[in-house]
Structure 1
């Protein structure tokens, strides 16, 4: 396999040359297991770890490698290597790290197109769909909505669901898809260009791994059925994994995500809700909260049924969440700065005591 088949570009080549990384091997992270990485080079696959210096200098989780990253590495055994540097990303999908205050989790890096997968039966949720769209728009990643398991709906339900999506989501392709009847796969395959990277996002059980297996022409990922007792998906995909398809396009499958907390995604939210953002410019007050203010153009649009109340409420909810995350990060950084000052003061005091002794 050559590097081009993994998505290597002239921009990466120029960066490698300009930063004198030509003595290192170059590879792409294809899987991650608790800070152990599987890296594919042009020669073979290596199990890799990061250097102590890279770990020490990291300001946050986003400074560590992620699936989809290009890395400079040095091999020291038949299948082992050390990662010395993560090359610049042109895109990065992130969410709030679950259960970790003010921290970011990288979903995947260097993505061209993200397929947002929702099943037409139990999983369909417009609010969640808009969350995913905000993540994509923040990272300037083209989103495409895959409406899966359409064999479980009749023609009228399918048409009504697509209309629902198109009323809430503008300028985004919607592809109905059935892995049972294979309807929609021809249209999906037309999206997949050689050497570009595609990511599949969605809850457990919506059929992401099944779609990837079909595109790959073999069962490269494990799949499982929906639980009959809970009607919830099972976490078949336990980690992110990059796969090169027969047509030379590259896909990343991700574990199902129940929580999609936004990070510093204000611009992504504004792009997702561009209709509301434009209306807000016509509001009487610059700091209008679109709740009860007189002269609010957004509330007037809701009354005139130009936009739905549900859409406005989700917009305000995502903005509140984003502001809370930003304030959490600011508070965390302030505490870290104060702790650093305190440690420095203690060390200086110890130096003075040692001098006088």
Structure 2
């Protein structure tokens, strides 16, 4: 195995010169730490890269494969381009600005981490599942702090999550006692990449430390009153586990605003979609129409009203985000042509 393969490189990614390859293992603001499997480098983007970058999606994220020019003596490198991504977890960036943010790239699995306490939110889990399917990776639900929960609570909470996570594996663990860790490692094989995603205080950093067998991430206790905590991870970083798997840790997200998900909503809500297909009318609005299978399922408790409302809410949110993105693209295109026109006029005057 060559050095680059230790970082998850496989033959499906085409590149003519492995000596120019590296993987982004940490991003902190505009600073990038990369590795070629043998040495780590602090890197910056080339001038050409900066000139050609059109949006936030064009910049490197943790997990990206990049083509670089190495300055080995100084342990520095210049990033010239990003190789095509096989998967990317994207969310709407925090704030009011319409902008995408890549949380992690080229992961095989996304661990959606929640704790087994009263901060668990099934509707939030649905959002993560939707975004994970849209990313191109496979979701796994990880329920932490098993040592703090009663067997009855674990059974009840797992059943609630199963309703929202149809067909998605669920693993209950304790990073303190080690219970469930071996089962979790079956989803972390050698040279495969997983990303840890979830809210603040759910135990992601503690889990990273447990999987690595050493304390590499700072942890803080959650508030007992509401089971919430402050995030201790301040940047995204990829670690190599003792079994050869790659794990991307990320700061806790207070909320997950969707960026895209049209192509994954049918998979996330396959139970609702299946019921809708059985409605008498193909254009059924699932309200007062006769022969509505969805309403029938809610009346008989086959489908919960909360899950159906979540399905409708996420559809509305995706449609709204799509309109905002389309508006932004039109404005950027208009500004681009205004700039081109102005540059041409200036050149003409200079003659």
TM-score, structure 2 length as denominator?
Answer: 0.93
Secondary structure at 2:335 match in 1: helix
How far apart, CA to CA, are the structure 1 residues paired with 2:280 and 2:326? 31
Decide whether aligned partners of structure 1 residues 271 and 23 sit closer, same or farther in structure 2, where only a CA change above 3 A counts: closer
1:25 maps onto 2:20 in alignment: yes
1:208-243 deviation per Cα after TM superposition (whole angstroms, max 9, x unaligned): 111111111111211111135664211110011100
Q: CA deviation at 1:287?
A: 4.5
SS at match of 1:16: coil
Aligned-pair CA distance for 1:285: 4.8
Q: Which whole-Å CA distance do the structure 2 matches of 1:174 and 1:149 have between them? A: 14
Whether 2:10 is the aligned partner of 1:9: answer yes
1:114, CA displacement in angstroms?
1.1
What is the count of residue pairs matched by the alignment? 349
Q: CA deviation at 1:46?
A: 0.5
Residue 114 (str. 1) matches residue 124 (str. 2): no
| Equivalent pair of 1:101/1:328 in contact (CA under 8 Å) | no
Deviation at 1:167?
2.5
Matched residues in 1 for 2:339 and 2:211: separation?
55
Equivalent residue for 2:69, pick from 74, 77, 84: 74
Query: What residue number does 1:44 align with?
Result: 39
Tell me if structure 1 keeps the 8 A contact 2:113–2:198.
yes
C-alpha contact 1:24 1:74 (8 A) present in aligned 2: no
Instruction: Select between 180-189 and 290-299 the one with higher mean Cα deviation.
Output: 290-299
Unaligned runs of 5+ in 1: none
C-alpha distance in 1, partners of 2:75/2:287? 59
Q: Aligned partners of 1:331 and 1:285: how far apart in 2?
A: 34
In structure 2, the residue matched to 1:219 is 215
Mapping 1:1-357, distance limit 5 Å: 2-12=3-13, 15-17=14-16, 22=17, 25-76=20-71, 78-228=74-224, 231-349=227-345
- 8 Å CA contact retained: 1:45, 1:79: yes
Instruction: Classify 1:351/1:182 alpha carbon distance in 2 versus 1 (closer, same or farther; 3 Å).
Output: closer
Output the aligned Cα RMSD.
2.0
Deviation at 1:189, TM superposition (A): 2.1
